[in-house]
Structure 1
Amino acid sequence: MPFAARKLAVGTALALLATSPASAVEIIMGGDACSGAVAYRPEAGVAYQPGVDAYGRKVAPADLSGGSAIQIPDTIAIDITVELQKRFGLPSNSTLFKPEARIGTLEVDRNGAMRFNGEPVTRDEALAVQAACREALGLPPLPLPKPAK
C-alpha cells in the first residue's frame, strides 16, 4: 500500500477511534482517490487577465509606445581587424601608424549565413566565428556539434 494511502487509512482509523470507542472501522483509499482529493483547483478570478493587476485594477499595457522604431537590417557587416598596438607592443603615443589593420568584412544575414569578403563561410569557419564571439562576450562555449555525414 502506498505511503499516502497508509497515512490516510491510519488517520481515518484514529479519527474513528476518537468518535466511536466501541468499534473501529478502517477505510483504505487508493492513490488515485487521494490525488483527486488534493488536486490543485485555482480560485475563480486568479488566472492571468491582460490589463488588470492582482487586485483587479486596470493597468497600462507593457508596450506603451507601440513597439520599437529600430529596424534591424537584413545583413550586419562586421569589420575584422587586428590591434597592432596590442599585438606588437607598440607605444600608445606613436603617430607613425594606425592602431588597427583591416583584415576583411564578415557579413551575417538574418538566417545566420556568413560571408567573408563576399565569399561564403564554411560550416567549420562559422563555428570558429561563433566560438570567438562567445569568448569575447564572456559566454560559455557551445557543445561541439555532431560531425556532418
Structure 2
Amino acid sequence: MRFALSNLLTSGAAIGLMLAAGPAMATEIMVQGDVCSGAVQHRPDAGVAYQPGVDAYGRKVAPADLSGGSAIRIPDTIAIDITVELQKRYGLPSDSRLFKPEARIGTLEVDRDGAMRFNGEPVSRDEALAVQAACRAALGLPPLPLPKPAK
C-alpha cells in the first residue's frame, strides 16, 4: 500500500523518518501489511451507543410500546375476491336496483409465506408473478425487475 507523505505527517513515525532521512528522502513512503489498520479503525465515542429509555441528550424517555402491543391479529391467510366490473367493462346502465355491477370470478388466497391459491388450487410461479405485477400496477408502484429463469 502506498501513501503520499502529506497523508502521514501527523504520525510520529513519519516525522521520525523525515528527520532521519533528511532532505534526500523520497516524496512517498511504502507501508506494508496491517500497519495502518489501527489508524483507520472506527472508534465511536462512549455516549453514542443506543441506550434503551434514554434520548440523544441523556434524558429518560417512555418506551415505544406504551400500551403493551397491538390488539390487531394479522391472519395467516388473506382472501381476495376476484371480480369483473360489468358496468365498466360492458357500459351497462346502473339505474336498475336489480343490477349488481360486478361478477365474482373466484378467490385468491395469499399465505404469510407468499404462497397463493386460486379457488383452492395452487398458483404457478408465473401466475403469482402476474398477480404481483397487477397489484403493483393497481397501487401505482413501479414494476419489479424480472426474476432469473429457474434452472
TM-score, scaled to structure 2:
0.74
CA shift for structure 1 position 49? 0.7
Number of aligned residues: 140
2: distance between equivalents of 1:93 and 1:84?
A: 14
Q: Which residue in the other structure is 2:111 paired with?
A: 109
2: distance between equivalents of 1:65 and 1:34?
A: 50
1:62 aligns with 2:61: no
1:141 aligns with 2:143: yes
**Over aligned residues, Cα RMSD in angstroms?**
3.0
Q: Note the residue ranges of structure 1 that are not aligned, 5 or more in a row.
A: 17-22
CA shift for structure 1 position 94? 3.6
Q: Which residue in the other structure is 1:19 paired with?
A: none
- Aligned AA for 2:71? A
2: distance between equivalents of 1:60 and 1:78?
A: 39
Quote the sequence identity (%): 80
- Could you tell me whether the CA contact under 8 Å between 1:5 and 1:34 is conserved in 2? no
2: distance between equivalents of 1:75 and 1:9?
A: 62
- Could you tell me whether the CA contact under 8 Å between 1:131 and 1:142 is conserved in 2? yes
Aligned CA distance change for structure 1 residues 101 and 148 (closer, same or farther; 3 Å): same
1: distance between equivalents of 2:25 and 2:44?
A: 32
CA shift for structure 1 position 111? 1.7
1:6 aligns with 2:8: no
- Could you tell me whether the CA contact under 8 Å between 1:9 and 1:29 is conserved in 2? no
Q: Note the residue ranges of structure 2 that are not aligned, 5 or more in a row.
A: 16-21
SS at match of 2:48: coil
Q: Greater CA deviation, 38-47 or 52-61?
A: 38-47
CA shift for structure 1 position 96? 4.3
1: distance between equivalents of 2:88 and 2:75?
A: 32
